[in-house]
Structure 1
């Protein structure tokens, strides 16, 4: 066994636990997605991964082994579990996924691993933060000289002495085949008695995917740029099949809930300036034509996996597309045709915009018949013009945002689809506008029984490949220090004191407290004959 891999999602909070009112999952969905090719090789007994600590002899045992070698962390309070994982697995490859608010946590994880394991482990940082801080100015010019780097690029932070030299490599972009290749490089290095990261520089640029690999060469950053060889998305395994399913979302009636993907791209089809998944920062859609087929197969695989691992439990899934199948009619219709011809016993949810729901009532009803029972929408404001507009606000000339919300809830209700929403503050809106939005949601819950749940978020500025409004944050400090802000922000999915949108400024403590209190009052309104959570 020459590959001993551990993969963790770094914590984004300095301390504490997520409030039960904030949306939560027990599965590290993005981490599983990135590692699924390596896990598939382990499960199939292919090459060095087939002899790794992720290989269990058969599909179910390999799922268990791979899942046991991963960890989703929330705050530094989870470091005891991380240390225990390292002590048990003794990895020679540590994969750390991080968004920007997780960078301090990723640095802490890497430091602990280095203290415990010394030079016996290669430490690789990946995830959204890495991908948003090193990018190609022209994707057609695939040379390291064409790279652009944000001030928060991890290897530059090491070179400048802003953070310790704890990362051997930083992976940007498509990780599926790159991670598998890094494992094989570790195997080759170990067989020669070398440092486990010694051969990372020999990873073939033809390895499928659009990726960049940064190497920490004695404190100086160096970069390998892939040829962007196409990935065969149809051949990619379902993450649930590789890592199993560990949670059950309440909106699906307690069914075990998988995270599924149609693999249409890394972000959204829209380009709202405030969004970390905006198309201009994450890249465009890809292989749209077959996305419905991929989503169908992932739902089918999720149902099979849940039946195998959780006998007697019913299956559900949430599609992690920023917008379900891009909201495209032909893709939705193709997917529904597959579900009608070969039904899958699964309830599922996904994200749509308000205007997409209004433009596609027939498709929404057909999706409901195919198993769609829950839709999650973003409700950032009652007045898009107050925050500078939204790319997704395509129906602004037809009627007000509030009126369209009302109509969308009517369409979903008629189709028997439940609805939850994410509320995003900190976009430059007035405080009375925040309270007015929560009051409007309260009225909708009384009249329509939705939205439920309501997820709170306070806008965080991400690097966004340089499109950060001139913020120039380096993210080396925790986004919110311990204290009253942190206590309140545990109610939020994402929030930060130190890294707000530059034009909006830091949130005020009294206003955050008032928002939390108002949201709690809304959540206490009975929904559908029950008390909302």
Structure 2
């Protein structure tokens, strides 16, 4: 049997493709899980964004598969359907499997979607489910009884019982050799992904991890982690990203990993990870060990600096702790990408501007500023749905970059406009003197990025002079929205609600002033 696994080309943020090409570790894990049963290739369409249809043709011709799998997040689902339909146009009748977070959390909606082409939906952790599916198809058995699998049954789907997660020790190393194409990088440095754990036990209301895995935390042994690091290094990776859901959940273990990485003796190998404020706070020894081990960037889940919003997100009292963590990370030349979430139900214009001021004050190296998104399965989605805050159900906009909710005082249009106009995208000059990124990145990269941003700045000024801020804003939103369109379609920016909750609406904050006009 020959198997071809596609990942979707859609980027979470429109800026990401220009400075990085991120590998898809999950599909390499699937390839490893069935390596003894089939010939498997991974076709990462993020490496063929310029012409996705040509990339699909290239992969299909190279592999001539008997089975095709597609992995997608929520905002990639529409693209996944188009990939599946295009594959079917090339090879009619070819079995198609959909997997990933969206498949796991919205499988019932997918099964009811008359436009989807899939025969199977793999739910939850995929390695064992996919292996059992391949075994069943190879032996002409009945895949409809496999736990964790939804299978087409005539015009509907049969949803088998869920499968409990497996111990990670049972999983093989990812098969990076299955990649059909190469070219992963971050800021021109060869880039790869590794993992040391899966899952999280924190109660954050905006996150779907606990619905995907359950509230648990499973780890690989340190010898296995080091073996994977060596394998990624041998494959060419020189910057490795630990994709753990929350590596700081067990600080002592993380410190032991840092000690082990230092012992590898690979000075040209650097590491990136994501972590929580609570995990780093008041742990200077961890931060020192990270710096010595070669970590140079942390994606830090700051989320918000409003105590009210932090309580809504169930993040705990971390606002003051965030400042300590930022100081310590920067003191050890660890760059910070700050993750922020705007647009909670009670957010006002002033609340959002306060977040932007905090970003400027602390010279955070880079930002991932998202607007609260009602992903399937998150604890807060039910409340947003019940109380009428969800205003846009076009899943193509569910990347966090586009507003799909309103607040008590701001429409989705106003949320998008305020973020566009006021986010600290064009750096305060002091950033070049205080942020580690300005001195750690090669000056050529900083200069290139500066030129790009200057061009974008003057382009926006041109449209502003031509037709005002609203025209410039719409051009900006349309450009970024259509950056994830690959099959000839064009999407117009739209905001179904162009006014905040009316006076007297129970969702409106008492005594709140009317929403400020956008701009």
Verify: 1:322 aligned to 2:238, yes or no: no
Structure 1's 19 and 389: CA in aligned 2 closer, same or farther, altered over 3 A?
same
1:30 corresponds to which of 8, 26, 32: 26
1:174 corresponds to which of 125, 129, 132: 125
1:430 corresponds to which of 339, 348, 372: 348
Deviation sequence 1:18-55 (CA, Å, 0-9, x none): 335887434223333444323xx2xxxx34x1xx2x3x
Q: Is the 8 A contact 2:298 2:335 kept in 1?
A: yes
Verify: 1:439 aligned to 2:357, yes or no: yes
1:215 corresponds to which of 151, 154, 164: 151
**Aligned equivalents of 1:503, 1:111: Cα separation in 2:** 40
Deviation sequence 1:192-230 (CA, Å, 0-9, x none): xxxxxx74336xx5xxxxx51001110122133366484
Structure 1's 500 and 476: CA in aligned 2 closer, same or farther, altered over 3 A?
closer
Q: Match of 2:396, SS?
A: coil
Structure 1 partner of 2:201: 269
Structure 1 partner of 2:491: none
Q: Tell me the TM-score normalized by structure 1.
A: 0.70
1:437 to partner: Cα distance: 1.5
Q: Is the 8 A contact 2:13 2:401 kept in 1?
A: no
**Aligned equivalents of 1:352, 1:479: Cα separation in 2:** 27
**Aligned equivalents of 1:17, 1:328: Cα separation in 2:** 30
**Aligned equivalents of 2:153, 2:273: Cα separation in 1:** 43
Q: Match of 2:312, SS?
A: coil
Verify: 1:377 aligned to 2:373, yes or no: no
Q: How does 1:41-80 map to 2 (within 5 A)?
A: 41=35, 46-47=36-37, 49=38, 52=39, 54=40, 66-67=41-42, 69-72=43-46, 78-80=52-54
How many residue pairs align between the two structures? 431
Unaligned runs of 5+ in 2: 450-519
**Aligned equivalents of 1:88, 1:474: Cα separation in 2:** 43
1:410 to partner: Cα distance: 1.8
1:280 to partner: Cα distance: 5.2
Q: Is the 8 A contact 2:280 2:287 kept in 1?
A: yes
Q: How does 1:351-500 map to 2 (within 5 A)?
A: 351-386=274-309, 388-393=311-316, 395-396=317-318, 401=319, 403-428=320-345, 429-445=347-363, 451-464=364-377, 468-469=381-382, 471=385, 477-480=394-397, 494-497=400-403, 499-500=404-405
Q: Match of 1:382, SS?
A: coil
Verify: 1:4 aligned to 2:2, yes or no: yes
Deviation sequence 1:477-521 (CA, Å, 0-9, x none): 4434xxxxxxxx9xxx63345x43787985215743653553322
Q: Is the 8 A contact 1:10 1:73 kept in 2?
A: no
Structure 2 partner of 1:349: 272
Structure 1's 406 and 94: CA in aligned 2 closer, same or farther, altered over 3 A?
same
Q: Is the 8 A contact 1:104 1:477 kept in 2?
A: no
Verify: 1:237 aligned to 2:173, yes or no: yes
**Aligned equivalents of 1:177, 1:430: Cα separation in 2:** 46
Deviation sequence 1:292-325 (CA, Å, 0-9, x none): 444333222211221xxxxxxx71201111222x
Q: Match of 2:358, SS?
A: helix
**Aligned equivalents of 1:521, 1:175: Cα separation in 2:** 41
**Aligned equivalents of 2:307, 2:47: Cα separation in 1:** 35
Q: How does 1:335-346 map to 2 (within 5 A)?
A: 335-345=257-267, 346=269
Aligned-residue RMSD, C-alpha: 3.5
Structure 2 partner of 1:18: 14
**Aligned equivalents of 1:247, 1:215: Cα separation in 2:** 34
Q: Is the 8 A contact 1:358 1:411 kept in 2?
A: no
2:71 corresponds to which of 97, 120, 128: 97
Unaligned runs of 5+ in 1: 55-65, 135-148, 190-197, 206-210, 307-313, 446-450, 481-488
Q: Is the 8 A contact 2:148 2:163 kept in 1?
A: no
Q: Match of 2:296, SS?
A: strand
Q: Match of 1:179, SS?
A: helix
**Aligned equivalents of 2:407, 2:382: Cα separation in 1:** 7
**Aligned equivalents of 1:242, 1:231: Cα separation in 2:** 24
Q: Is the 8 A contact 2:75 2:396 kept in 1?
A: yes
Verify: 1:331 aligned to 2:253, yes or no: yes
**Aligned equivalents of 2:19, 2:352: Cα separation in 1:** 20
